[in-house]
Structure 1
């Protein structure tokens, strides 16, 4: 069976009519991605091309580009979210709990939900022991937080044919890799169902800046337009919007104000319901049961 065959097609206009608490229109979840890039390895992403096209290790400038986010950028994003009382979902490489405990500790103290995001940053396809890496990441986070993650976002949204099964086997219920809809959707595995959470590559700062090279204000413009349409549609049936950020991208001085302005714009609508990953998944499952009995 092709992996895509496990995600049955459903038209948004045919989905059951769900309800958000207090008549809200849009569930919005903010994902802060914190990762460990090892300086001895090729960088997962680069901002400067290698001299004469020949990759060099250690890659000091591109490693430093990311490291700036963990040292400075994260704290701008952290303050923006904490000051506004917005519950965030922290997509975290498991080893970050050991290598950047100051970052992980601040998120834990703020009450953010920890999502698995691999052990170290790199595609799932490159792992020699995918199951072992998944278990290790979840164990590291559980040891640090005291609770096992219920949600997961694969590095780079990468999956193999067995990833969903292995995630569910190790206790993950909600996965953010499938950017297929504006509502969650269930996927069957031999270990029980996994629910996909609406994520985004369009309102993700990696796509806007690192890949597409837009001006600093594009994140605000695109995010506002995305929210406006979902908010209008949410008058008849709720929608979900994801805002996904990385400390080394929107945490820099010339971009942080646009993230802050987007949070203020979204939060300024009374029909907005802020949620974390598991809150979103639990809401969907409860509402689906209410409407369909499934």
Structure 2
């Protein structure tokens, strides 16, 4: 039986977060997250029992699905390079949220991200929810993910984000691993916060699905101008709030989604608006986590 209201907090900071100053007295910290999931999706052609159902054309087929397979391939064949070059042009460092299997299969892309100065964080072993996953299986998947990313990047990941739902054990297992600085398995705030996991104080950097290019799939041909306007509106509003309280904006990107040529102008507009404003600290999630820890207790691990 699932415990009622397990690990839920409806009130958070109650409107009074800590008085944290971002570097340069910026009113807002902005985190671009590039999700690297390609080759870690489920595919019957790769020996799995099912295909990934979420892709450009939402039409399921029985058996091998070359359509979904090739939509994922687009992300690494074309989207990666287009997106990475765009971030470089604007001097933006992102967090590349990487599935362990993707790091194992395509280590040259991880190496490319490291060479460009991006953070490599962990996004599960497969591109899958952990809801209902047995604790021992999940512990093994966390370990495999850390090992694969460490091998490809030359440094272990310090951040974690599960696709969609976690299990009720995920955060405890991350803390038991001992090497994670933060997780992003939350969608419940616009500012980092600490939570207790046993006797351990654990940092959470909330993520967001609205300021996320997944909306191109979820909103019936949501176009680039819509996406840019929405993200820019979110940025401008949080800058207003950030003048009196710390605020953080997460912008989620996917190689096979934003990496399409008809959508890249939206990302370019977002990057130009944010960087030209000079009102944001645009950085990796690791840097945000380390700053938050240092500002709240004077020490970072």
Number of equivalences: 285
Is 1:132 paired with 2:134? no
Distance 1:49 1:165, change over 3 A: same
Whether contact under 8 Å (2:189, 2:206) holds in the other structure is: yes
Structure 1 partner of 2:80? 74
TM-score, with length taken from structure 2: 0.89
State the partner residue of 2:56: 47
Deviation at 1:218, TM superposition (A): 1.4
SS in 1 for 2:120: strand
Give 1:283 deviation, angstroms: 1.2
Alignment partner of 2:41 out of 13, 24, 37: 37
Match of 2:174 in 1: 167
Aligned to 1:282: 290
Q: CA RMSD in A?
A: 1.8
The CA deviation at 1:239 is 0.9
Unaligned runs of 5+ in 1: none
Which residue is 2:209 aligned to?
Answer: 201
Q: For the Cα contact (< 8 Å) 1:152–1:176, is it kept in 2?
A: yes
**Inter-partner Cα distance in structure 1 for 2:107 and 2:162:** 21
Q: List per-residue Cα deviations over 1:127-152 (Å, max 9, x = no partner).
A: 45111001110111112222211101
Offset at 1:74? 1.4
| Deviation >6 Å, runs of 4+ | none
Distance 2:260 2:130 in 1: 28
Residue matched to 1:103: 109
Q: Which residue of 1 aligns with 2:257?
A: 249
Task: Give the structure-1-normalised TM-score.
Answer: 0.91
Name the CA distance, whole Å, in 1 between partners of 2:82 and 2:26.
29
Which residue is 1:121 aligned to?
127
Query: How much does 1:7 deviate?
Result: 4.0
Instruction: Note if contact 2:223-2:263 (Cα within 8 Å) is conserved in structure 1.
Output: no
Within a 5 Å distance, the mapping from 1:205-216 to structure 2 comes to: 205-206=213-214, 208-213=215-220, 214-216=222-224
Distance 1:193 1:14 in 2: 19
Gapped runs of 5+ residues in structure 2?
A: 45-49
Structure 1 residue 13: Cα displacement: 2.3
Match of 2:47 in 1: none
